[in-house]
Amino acid sequence: MNSLKRFVLCAFAALGLLLPPAAPSHAAPESTMDAIVKRGTLRVGFSSFVPWAMQDRNGKYIGFEIDVAQRLADDLGVKLQPVPTSWDGIIPALLAGKFDMIIGSMAITPKRAMSVNFTVPYDTAYIDVTLNREKAGGIKSLADLNRPEVVVAVRNGTTAALAAKKLVPAATFRVFNDEAPAVEEVLAGRAHAFFSSAPLPAMETLRNPDKLVQNFELQAFRAPIAIAVRKGDADTLNVLDGWIRMVEEEGWLQERRDYWFKSNQWESLLK
């Protein structure tokens, strides 16, 4: 073999051009969306928040988030399986495969985005506050709440709880695992204020005008709401992003927002 041929062969070998292409080490993992369609069921994790997700008088889950999950299941041609989950454990439950995605009024935050991937937003959360009427005489602004002697009730792990601690860091906080006991704390006079996502504080004020009052409007903390999925699943994110854009453009999402957040028609379903 002459020196030129030997040089070329050695160069090709060094570049890997004489070796057959390597076979893929493993097949691409199945996307969550593929698994949903194959299973025929969409498993959605959520936690109870009025009026996003709650049980009617017959024990059936209803609410804005349930409507969103049901419409998605219908459009995918599968059945919806709601999976009620405690809010403080909902992301670990998603990562453990207990359900396929979170549709539960979850605001996008940097900390959460380190654990899950979010779709484009399909809603916006607003933080609001209501006050115990007897204790609210001197409370006319956020500054009046920002004192150690003021007790603020919040639900653990929520965007509203994070917002309250940033807005009134000097207040004394009582943290609960659900909204109901937090509201009861204010109704009973054991707390001055209750922070939560709108429209719940306003709704509770309308239900209890003799015990609650809203002395000022909270102009802060608008947070984008999105569907959360496990990381590394671009196909599922692509389907969900396209679906959200579709139902937003056709006006369906706004119609559902108006029903659940701007009317009280649904309250008769709870009695």
CA–CA separation, 183 vs 49, rounded Å? 13
| Integer-rounded Cα radius of gyration of the chain | 25
The answer on 157 and 95 residing in a single domain is no
Of 207, 222, 237, the one marking the end of a domain is 222
Q: What is the CATH number of the domain that holds 156?
A: 3.40.190.10
| 238 found inside a domain | yes
The answer on 134 and 118 residing in a single domain is no
The answer on 197 and 174 residing in a single domain is yes
| Contacts with 5 (C-beta within 8 Å, 6 or more apart), sequence order | none
Question: What is the structure's pLDDT at 23?
Answer: 47
CA–CA separation, 50 vs 198, rounded Å? 10
| 2 found inside a domain | no
| 10 found inside a domain | no
| 136 found inside a domain | yes
How many domains in the chain? Answer: 2
Query: At 28, is the pLDDT very low, low, confident or very high (cuts 50, 70, 90)?
Result: low
| 167 found inside a domain | yes
Question: What is the structure's pLDDT at 3?
Answer: 47
| 56 found inside a domain | yes
| 9 found inside a domain | no
The answer on 171 and 255 residing in a single domain is no
- The beta strand positions in the chain, using DSSP E, are 41-46, 54-55, 61-62, 79-84, 101-102, 117-118, 123-132, 151-155, 172-176, 193-197, 212-213, 222-225, 228-229
| 24 found inside a domain | no
**Mean pLDDT (whole number) for 171-177:** 96
The answer on 184 and 57 residing in a single domain is no
111-120, 213-222, 237-246: range with lowest mean pLDDT: 213-222
Average pLDDT of the chain?
88
User: Could you tell me the residue range of the domain that residue 96 belongs to?
Assistant: 32-122+226-270
Q: Is the pLDDT of residue 12 over 60?
A: no
Of 222, 237, 254, the one marking the end of a domain is 222
Q: What is the pLDDT of residues 84-110, one digit of tens each?
A: 999 989 999 999 999 999 999 999 999
Query: At 150, is the pLDDT very low, low, confident or very high (cuts 50, 70, 90)?
Result: very high
The answer on 247 and 175 residing in a single domain is no
